Structure 1
Amino acid sequence: MSTSAVQSSQGETTAKAGKLRYLLILGGLSALAPFSIDMYLPALPRMSSDLQASDAALQFTLSAFIIGLAAGQLVAGPLSDSFGRRKPLLAGLVLYSLAVALCAMSPSIGVLIAARMLQAFGAAAGIVIARAVVRDLFSGRQMTKFFSTLLLVSGIGPVLAPVLGGQLLRLTSWRGVFVVQALFGVLLLIAVLSMLPESLSADRHRPARLGATLRTYGRLLADRGFLGYALAGGLMFAGLFAYVSASSFVLQGFYGLNPQQYSLVFGANGVGIVLAGQLNGLLVNRFPERRLLAAGLAIGTVGGVGVLVAGVLSLPLAALLVPLFCQVSMIGLVMPNATSLALAGQPDHAGAASALMGVAQFTIGALATPLVGIDGVPMGAVMAGFALTALIVFVTVARARRARA
């Protein structure tokens, strides 16, 4: 073999190794929030009695986490545009690890709620900066494909987290679940320190001024294309949070599943997200992202309506699980395309744009959480309503863009 062939082969191997490193680290950062949410869901009934708190109060620990994610992204996104990606990311991971340790030691529901909000504020840096790093490195369909592949790694969090949480409850209390989350945060901190280089060159740093940041947010909110894709993804994502918030009570309380059975059902829906994401990565070479986004929103709406019908008619568990799987799995088709389309025109403000996308997702999710109650009817109504609204927003934006063209 010639020297040039050997060098080419070595170059390809190095490139693949680098891409795999990015996938693992960015996937772990993207999974930090769902991992932190989903792992403790099987423990909610036990936490209610241990902390002498109502189901509504326990659900507010989820709402507080979502609010913290939204607020944290608004801060971390612009900071990453000003100081680079690594410094705000490292600060966020340190805050996350300390806050989750406080969760494990919480003596009351009030302390737990406050600690969860701080934990989310730290986790927000992982989510928003991971998206910004992808935008720094890729563009066009390559960006969409990378976001789809990223779901293969980040989707492991929602799949394994409830299963791991259910199994941990066999060995320890709910406090031990938070100890495991703290260890995960420390591992990510070490990985970022040692293996994730800075992706935003110094000449692309933006001034760290409040006025400039607010003007950037204003321009993004005035961009109808960005706003439409961000809202479509955010509304669909809110349906997922409705499911996350109510599913523990619906499946364990109404249908009688134990924590381990519930964690398996939750994990199966997570597998659906991963599979849909990988399918999207294959289809994006043949179909435009907008068409794939439309298909995901339409199927998700049909699934949400099916969940509502199952709740209204009190149908057997199987009749609920099938449309639930369809609705939840479409996250894997919707989010890569919505994210890529929204960030495509924002190369110079990827952090701020990623932050606004996250705010749309988690703020709407926080509003959805108190609406779902603890039975199947409100859960199905909220999931169907948000999916349908997302489809309407997308169609409206698509028509407006065609008319301007």
Structure 2
Amino acid sequence: MTSATRDPRRHLPLILAALSMIGPFSIDAIFPGFPDIGHAFGVGEVALQQLLSVYLLAYAVMSLFHGAISDAYGRKPVIVVAMGIYALASMGAALAPSFGFLLACRVVQGLCGGAGIVVGRAIVRDTMHGEDAQRMMSKVMMIFGIAPAIAPIVGAWLLGIDGWRGIFWALTAFTVLLVAGIVRFLVESHPVEKRTVFRPRPLLRGYMAIARDLPFWPLAIASSVNFSGLFLYIASAPHLIRDVLHLGADGFPWLFVPTVSGMVTGAFISGRVAGRVSAARTVGWGYVCMLSSCAFSLFFALVLDAPRVPWSTLPLALYGCGVQLAFPTLTILLLDRFPEQRGGVSSVQAFGSLIMTALVAGVLSPMLSSSMLFLALGATSLCGVGLVGWLWYRSMERRRVALTPAAAATEVVSQIERNEPG
């Protein structure tokens, strides 16, 4: 069967889930290697944190262009080229002779690492609609959810085999295999006749149109900030595990297993209720879970004499569940704002999310990671911002629905007046 006649959805969940794993593995898998990297190059914790910050900043900036480039040249070529360059950057990181060279490779990884997830969201909306799209997004997120849990475990295992360089060799091998799978199984979902021109002026005009769409902003805020509350703990993992919970390199599962178990559960539930439960109710359930998690985290931080597992990390399962309950629905609502610019919208969404995660990694995590109470307060604040964004969007939608009959009547009167003879 040729690529033209193959069902484009057949291998899509596994391909997109594998592409989604690039991000978590690029971040979480290297955490266990931080002490060895610092020892190898003679750098401290502040410098090591830049391995995360420069990756996220590069990821965020380039995410503005991945979707637009795929709108112009097709989804598949963009993913293949980006993942190929990512593999070369991972190889360079494994061979890095200096810390500066390693940081440069991390920048290149960030520039390419987001192509899969940004373009992948556009592929989902290219190939399916409505509840099918929500189910697919949920399925991808459910498979993707295991990555943050296994990444630090794999990283610690590789650390014992070939040191921190082995982690980057593993990323190289994974990406090479992924590129081979994409070339063989991914079907192009954006035909030539629907492609746009990639030029600075039309690109800027498209982003300006998105920026002028008022309902886009509360949706973007909600989808970006929700995960940031969870990412605050993830970005703080090296300090949190070693210095707050006083665990060794094998202690990362105490943080990541509850988090990812909740994420997988939330994505599974989101997929099961697609088409049966309204978008508003699904997102509402998500916020109930996230706010409940914040309440439990604050409670344990206040009543425990010292942070300890499992109580200090167990509430994150509920937060992860809430994030994944809300995220697929919020993403579909965002992409449907501009059906002809799904790649561009996905890029803007990814940019906002990555700016938030870079801010969390570079500013909030260093400020708050010394205390479970500070982390709980930070996550609660971020969740509250996301909830305000969602309530803002809901208010705008209710107002739009209320005004629709009046607007329709005004349009009818206007048409009658235009058709009347002078």
Q: TM-score, normalised by structure 1?
A: 0.91
Describe the shift of the 1:54–1:380 C-alpha distance in structure 2 as closer, same or farther (beyond 3 A): farther
Which amino acid letter does the alignment assign opposite residue 24 of structure 1?
L
Q: Aligned residue for 2:377?
A: 381
Could you tell me whether the CA contact under 8 Å between 2:8 and 2:189 is conserved in 1? no
**TM-fit CA distance, 1:312:** 5.5
Which one of the candidate residues 85, 94, 97 is aligned to 2:87? 97
Q: Aligned residue for 2:33?
A: 43
Look up the SS of the partner of 1:224 in the other structure: coil
Q: Aligned residue for 1:193?
A: 183
2:159, 2:301 → 1: CA distance?
Answer: 29
1:124, 1:299 → 2: CA distance?
Answer: 28
Identity, % of aligned pairs? Answer: 27
Q: Aligned residue for 1:127?
A: 117
**1:371 matches 2:364:** yes
Look up the SS of the partner of 1:349 in the other structure: helix
Structure with the greater alpha carbon radius of gyration? 2
Number of residue pairs the alignment of both structures matches: 392
**TM-fit CA distance, 1:34:** 1.3
2:41, 2:234 → 1: CA distance?
Answer: 21
Which one of the candidate residues 275, 282, 287 is aligned to 2:265? 275
Comparing 280-289 and 394-403, the one that deviates more = 280-289
Q: Aligned residue for 1:257?
A: 247
Which one of the candidate residues 144, 148, 159 is aligned to 1:169? 159
Could you tell me whether the CA contact under 8 Å between 2:254 and 2:313 is conserved in 1? no
**1:203 matches 2:193:** yes
Could you tell me whether the CA contact under 8 Å between 2:242 and 2:248 is conserved in 1? yes
Could you tell me whether the CA contact under 8 Å between 1:305 and 1:381 is conserved in 2? no
Q: Aligned residue for 2:387?
A: 391
Which one of the candidate residues 73, 77, 84 is aligned to 1:87? 77
Deviations along 1:304-351, one digit per CA (max 9) or x if unpaired, are 343345445644333211222222332221211111111123221111
**TM-fit CA distance, 1:91:** 1.5
Describe the shift of the 1:302–1:109 C-alpha distance in structure 2 as closer, same or farther (beyond 3 A): farther
Which amino acid letter does the alignment assign opposite residue 21 of structure 2?
A
1:95, 1:301 → 2: CA distance?
Answer: 40
2:251, 2:160 → 1: CA distance?
Answer: 13
Which one of the candidate residues 315, 319, 334 is aligned to 1:327? 319
Residues 283-362 of structure 1 correspond to what in structure 2 (within 5 A)?
283-311=273-301, 314-362=306-354
1:43, 1:302 → 2: CA distance?
Answer: 34
**1:404 matches 2:400:** yes
Which one of the candidate residues 99, 106, 110 is aligned to 1:116? 106
Describe the shift of the 1:59–1:180 C-alpha distance in structure 2 as closer, same or farther (beyond 3 A): same
Question: How big is the alpha-carbon RMSD for the aligned residues of Structure 1 and Structure 2?
Answer: 2.0
Which amino acid letter does the alignment assign opposite residue 126 of structure 1?
G
1:331, 1:106 → 2: CA distance?
Answer: 36
**TM-fit CA distance, 1:366:** 0.7
Which amino acid letter does the alignment assign opposite residue 386 of structure 1?
L
**1:61 matches 2:54:** no
Q: Aligned residue for 2:411?
A: none
Q: Aligned residue for 2:413?
A: none
2:10, 2:144 → 1: CA distance?
Answer: 13
**TM-fit CA distance, 1:262:** 1.4
Which amino acid letter does the alignment assign opposite residue 365 of structure 2?
V
Q: Aligned residue for 2:414?
A: none
1:388, 1:79 → 2: CA distance?
Answer: 34
Comparing 172-181 and 378-387, the one that deviates more = 378-387
Describe the shift of the 1:384–1:177 C-alpha distance in structure 2 as closer, same or farther (beyond 3 A): same
1:181, 1:54 → 2: CA distance?
Answer: 24
Structure 2 residue ranges without an equivalent (≥5):
402-422
Could you tell me whether the CA contact under 8 Å between 1:131 and 1:354 is conserved in 2? yes
**TM-fit CA distance, 1:292:** 1.1
Which amino acid letter does the alignment assign opposite residue 284 of structure 1?
A
Could you tell me whether the CA contact under 8 Å between 2:223 and 2:386 is conserved in 1? yes
Look up the SS of the partner of 2:188 in the other structure: coil
Look up the SS of the partner of 1:172 in the other structure: helix
**TM-fit CA distance, 1:109:** 2.9
Q: Aligned residue for 1:266?
A: 256
**TM-fit CA distance, 1:108:** 3.1
Which amino acid letter does the alignment assign opposite residue 341 of structure 1?
L
Which amino acid letter does the alignment assign opposite residue 372 of structure 1?
S
Deviations along 1:7-30, one digit per CA (max 9) or x if unpaired, are xxxxxxx98x86341111111112
Which amino acid letter does the alignment assign opposite residue 297 of structure 2?
V
Q: Aligned residue for 1:150?
A: 140
1:57, 1:301 → 2: CA distance?
Answer: 34
**TM-fit CA distance, 1:264:** 5.2
Which amino acid letter does the alignment assign opposite residue 354 of structure 1?
S
Could you tell me whether the CA contact under 8 Å between 2:68 and 2:203 is conserved in 1? yes
Deviations along 1:280-303, one digit per CA (max 9) or x if unpaired, are 111223211222112212321332
Comparing 141-150 and 258-267, the one that deviates more = 258-267
